[in-house]
Amino acid sequence: MIKSEKILMGTWLNYKKQPDSAWIEFFKKLTSSGISHFFIHASAKELHYLLSLTKNWDIKIHGWVWAFNRPNDKKAMKNLDWYSINRKGDNSYDARPYVEYYQWLSPFSSGATNHIKNNIKKISEVKGIASVHIDYVRYCDVFLPSTLQKKYKIEQREVLHEYDYGYHKNGRRQFLKLHGVDPININNASMYDKWIKFRHNAITKIVKELKVIANNNGTNLSAAVFPTPEMSKRMVLQDWASWNIDMVCPMNYHHFYGENIDWIGKNVRLGLKEINPECIYLSGIYAGSLSPNMLGKAIKVSLENNASGVNFFSASNLSNEHLKVIKTFK
């Protein structure tokens, strides 16, 4: 279990190859502002290096892993049956929805899920890692946030077949056996709700297995998730409130949804109401969209609504002025 300090401050970042001195300067700069949790997208070897470099520092390093969205994954790309299928029958291997880096594996493919579990196992075996931090633990977006719909010139007032994923042959077969209908042929709301729940459960089952892997290797499981439990279940078929994990980082990126700062506080309340009370809640804040003053307000509204702290996306978006504001919350 991740112990809760008075206020937890974290940030997401991608690993990059640079001299020891540059990493030390980076960690020194951010820790002096009160940031002590670093969610780093890196290999097991790279994480081991950073942990060795900072072994005498009072910081926590988490291994950030993309779970089901695996763009250009060389091993996966040799196995086309690992990929998620939409209601039109398109395979995410070559029909990449929205953006080029969307290439989704299916929770109904044992090859895909074993590959994901092996990725998590490698990171969990890194000695000293604070948690395995899983991202993209979901399906492709059924619905995009409002501002992104405008950006990509898409109108999603209802479920569109090209963005409705989870129709892998194994999943269809399992649902047919359970409910007597192939989900590709569902034409009523009641049965479609069962199909939604069925897909939720497939992801939740994998999360339970990932937690066992992490815990067996002496570390925790944390996750980046969509803003609220209900939004998440509807938009990306992700039922994160039911996951018994150690830390959750809802991405409360208000500007994606055309909302104001107070919306973040509302989300925190809704999330805390439904999750396991022992689960640490860090409010994800998109620093790049905020002035230093507004960043301070986003932190304040998160903490006032009982978040254990905040997680900033991303380290590269944090200016010196942002860091000065963050430091006032130490």
Q: What is the pLDDT of residues 76-105, one digit of tens each?
A: 999 999 999 999 999 999 999 999 999 999
Q: Which helix (H) or strand (E) holds 309?
A: strand 309-313
CA end-to-end span of the chain:
23
> Is the model's pLDDT at 6 over the cut of 90?
no
The answer to whether residue 2 is domain-embedded is: no
Task: In whole angstroms, give the CA distance from residue 173 to residue 271.
Answer: 34
Phi, psi of 235 (to 5 degrees): -80, -35
Domain of 249 in residue numbering reads as 8-327
The answer to whether residue 3 is domain-embedded is: no
Predicted model pTM:
0.97
Task: In whole angstroms, give the CA distance from residue 103 to residue 70.
Answer: 6
Region 64-72: mean pLDDT is 98
pLDDT of residue 5: 57
Task: In whole angstroms, give the CA distance from residue 266 to residue 43.
Answer: 35
DSSP symbols for 56-111 = TSS-EEEEEEE-SB-TT-TTGGG-GGGB-BBTT--BTTT---SSTT--BBPTT-HH
> Is the model's pLDDT at 4 over the cut of 60?
no
DSSP symbols for 246-302 = SEEEEB--GGGGT--THHHHHHHHHHHHHS-TTSEEEEEEEGGGS-HHHHHHHHHHH
* Residue 251 DSSP symbol: B
The answer to whether residue 1 is domain-embedded is: no
Task: In whole angstroms, give the CA distance from residue 200 to residue 207.
Answer: 11
The answer to whether residue 315 is domain-embedded is: yes
- Token duo for residue 47: 């994480």
- Radius of gyration, alpha carbons of the chain: 20
The answer to whether residue 222 is domain-embedded is: yes
Q: Are 9 and 318 in contact (CB under 8 A)?
A: no
How many domains does the structure of the chain reveal?
1
Phi, psi of 66 (to 5 degrees): -80, 120
The answer to whether residue 82 is domain-embedded is: yes
The answer to whether residue 18 is domain-embedded is: yes
* CATH code of residue 267: 3.20.20.80
Q: What is the pLDDT of residues 165-205, one digit of tens each?
A: 999 999 999 999 999 999 999 999 999 999 999 999 999 99
Quick one: what percent of the chain has pLDDT higher than 90?
A: 98
Q: What is the pLDDT of residues 247-300, one digit of tens each?
A: 999 999 999 999 999 999 999 999 999 999 999 999 999 999 999 999 999 999
